[in-house]
Structure 1
Amino acid sequence: MREKLVESGYAAGWAVLKLLPEPVVGVLGDRIADAVWRRQGRGVHQLEKNLARVRPQASPAELRELSRAGMRSYLRYWMESFRLPVWNDRKIADRMQVDGIEHLVAAMESGRGAIITLPHMGNWDLAGAWVVRHLGFNFTTVAERLKPESLFDRFVAYREGLGMEVLALTGSDISVIGTLARRLREGKLICLVGDRDLSAAGLPVDFFGETTRMPAGPAALAQRTGAALLPVTLWYDGPVQRARIHPPVEAPAELGRQAAKSAMTQAMADIWAAGIARHPQDWHMLQRFWLADLPSTPQPQAAADETSAEPSPRAQQGEPR
């Protein structure tokens, strides 16, 4: 019953919100966000704990206001995503401002392929639609399989409608890592979310002075294929979303393969941390993130190989992102 209700809610969002005037949708999103924020549920409480790491000097009152802004940003993501399928090319172009385009264009024109990696910031779907429609680069991404299956199918259809190839993380005979590597060797683009992986295969990184784990997949794929590894940060700036495509993260030539993979993952983490520090309200991390917050912490593998390094799905509290 719960799964049917969840699916019905998403279906209603896609069916109804695209019909409403945009100002009405914006006000509705803020009101829903404020109502959830006032309830102080588990997700909001965890968001405030995470933001306390980002802004350690903030007072309790400042953290509360920051978490309120964070929930409004998170609901803005959903409201935009429900309406995104009916936005035309001009609308998408008007809603995005991107710096560092030259890094992506250079990688794609060289034929080496590119891996865009980003944290749970802003609206990844809007950025992806902009890459497809404005730059003309279709890309491959990964989605976590959801229950019910019909909800997963809805999200796959939604993203495929925006021009993305979507691979299911589990439940398929297709090798995710193998398919992504093949796309890169063909000189194509893949996009992965890379700021959270609490599995044993995740690589430990320092993030705002504490240890967490991030997926080894993006760095491993770059090593394996020679593709450019391009970290991206996203944030809202008034009515538009801004993005910065950072210069490629290179494998340190003086390090061995595993050490280089760890160094590349830490370099991405440092870039994301700087972006999150500037725009903490747009980091949509409502889950436990640092190892210190976990009830029990498995020991990280010292040498996670490429085949076990799965890219992280864009998900929040069971919701596809």
Structure 2
Amino acid sequence: MDERTADLAYAAGWAVLRRSPDRVGRAVFRQLADRSWRAHDEGTRGLERNLRRLLGPDGTDAQLRALSKAGMRSYMRYFYEMFRLPAMDREYVLSHTRATGVDVLQENLDAGRGVIAALPHMGNWDHAGAWITMQGAPLTTVAQRLRPESLFRRFTAYRESLGMEVLPLTGGSGTVGTLARRLREGGLVCLLADRDINGTGLEVDLFGEKARMPSGPAALALNTGAALMPVSLWYDGPYWNIRVHEEVPVAPGPSRAHRIHDTTQALGKVFEGAIAEHPEDWHMLQAVFAADHDEDRARRREQEYSTIVRTLEHERAQGAERTGRPG
């Protein structure tokens, strides 16, 4: 799908699904999930690479396929509800949300201490953000810049309409400084923290393998004194579930780098337990584990090499046509 088509598709999704019957919309997105799963497309294969680590060496292919089917359905449910959420009234959102541990998060905010809510890609994080703002806690978050720019603006406007302050992960000015300022002011910052997007993450142990997680949440906690609180999300029938886990304290250590790494590792262990409890709701189709990152780099290098070879062969053939000599 090219950039313009993607932008138009998202625009249509927001416009149409807000007015469509809920039952019909959910059935359509469930069918889309099953179609992707049956085709064993790139997204499904990426999800299965990650889920295989959860199952461990004793997991069978049949177990993996069953789990990935449930995972793709959960993933597409997230997208359906993302499109639908602006049309859901406050009472519906509140009555269909079950939350635990939020009182401790709120106590920190009431005391003027900032909170970093660090989330894995689980359940519906847009819903969780909307729900917490309905509780009277404004939040700041960071969004990955999408292409085309118009699509990124749509996502930003959508989240802002739910009551969130949205900062760009890249291409903006002063994002990290703004996050630190919000935390020092006693605000709430929510960050997805289980995937290294910009290639500067730290290697930690996750499900018995090396994985890469962003260092930002731990670094912000160290720099600002804010409480680092993991949050896990999952579905239970028609309900959204939110669990705020106990604070992950900044680890001691001989250096700043050691402290950030060990704090990130501790955060990863909480994520590991939460994901293991609800693996079908971990919407991670991209590379997380170091071995997969290495394979992706090798694959990209091979593709780049093949492109160079094809280009040289094409130029040589054109040169031969001009001179009348064999290539």
* TM norm structure 2: 0.87
Q: Is the 8 A contact 1:235 1:243 kept in 2?
A: yes
Deviations 1:15-61 (A, max 9, x none): 11111111111111111100111111111012112111001232111
CA distance in 1, matches of 2:73, 2:142: 26
Secondary structure at the counterpart of residue 294 of structure 1? helix
* TM norm structure 1: 0.89
Paired AA for residue 165 in structure 1: E
CA distance in 1, matches of 2:45, 2:213: 22
Paired AA for residue 169 in structure 2: L
Aligned to 1:277: 276
CA distance in 2, matches of 1:214, 1:92: 31
Deviation at 1:254, TM superposition (A): 5.4
> Greater helix share, 1 or 2?
2
Aligned to 1:176: 175
Secondary structure at the counterpart of residue 160 of structure 1? helix
Aligned to 1:156: 156
CA distance in 1, matches of 2:255, 2:133: 36
Paired AA for residue 5 in structure 1: T
Taking a change above 3 Å as real, the CA distance of residues 200 and 16 of structure 1, as seen in their structure-2 partners, is closer
Deviation at 1:255, TM superposition (A): 4.9
Q: Is the 8 A contact 2:203 2:290 kept in 1?
A: no
Paired AA for residue 270 in structure 1: K
CA distance in 1, matches of 2:200, 2:50: 22
Paired AA for residue 285 in structure 1: M
Paired AA for residue 223 in structure 1: L
Q: Does residue 43 of structure 2 align to residue 21 of structure 1?
A: no
CA distance in 1, matches of 2:226, 2:2: 42
Q: Is the 8 A contact 2:230 2:245 kept in 1?
A: yes
CA distance in 1, matches of 2:48, 2:149: 32
Aligned to 1:245: 244
Taking a change above 3 Å as real, the CA distance of residues 288 and 253 of structure 1, as seen in their structure-2 partners, is closer
Paired AA for residue 267 in structure 1: A
Q: Is the 8 A contact 2:52 2:64 kept in 1?
A: yes
Aligned to 1:208: 207
Q: Is the 8 A contact 2:193 2:213 kept in 1?
A: yes
Q: Is the 8 A contact 1:108 1:187 kept in 2?
A: yes
User: Could you say which structure has the larger radius of gyration?
Assistant: 2
How big is the alpha-carbon RMSD for the aligned residues of Structure 1 and Structure 2? 1.5
Q: Does residue 125 of structure 2 align to residue 111 of structure 1?
A: no
Q: Does residue 129 of structure 2 align to residue 128 of structure 1?
A: yes
CA distance in 1, matches of 2:216, 2:293: 22
Paired AA for residue 4 in structure 2: K
CA distance in 2, matches of 1:156, 1:219: 25
Question: Aligned ranges for residues 1-321 of structure 1 at < 5 Å?
Answer: 2-56=2-56, 57-133=58-134, 135-172=135-172, 174-197=173-196, 199-253=198-252, 255-295=254-294
Aligned to 1:319: none
Moved more, 111-120 or 15-24: 15-24
Deviation at 1:95, TM superposition (A): 2.2
CA distance in 2, matches of 1:241, 1:186: 30
Deviations 1:262-293 (A, max 9, x none): 11111110111111111111001111211111
Q: Is the 8 A contact 1:229 1:250 kept in 2?
A: yes
Aligned to 1:303: none
What are the ranges of 5 or more consecutive residues in structure 1 without an aligned counterpart? 299-321
Paired AA for residue 269 in structure 1: G
CA distance in 1, matches of 2:111, 2:142: 24
Aligned to 1:311: none
CA distance in 1, matches of 2:89, 2:183: 29
Moved more, 287-296 or 232-241: 287-296
CA distance in 2, matches of 1:116, 1:61: 35
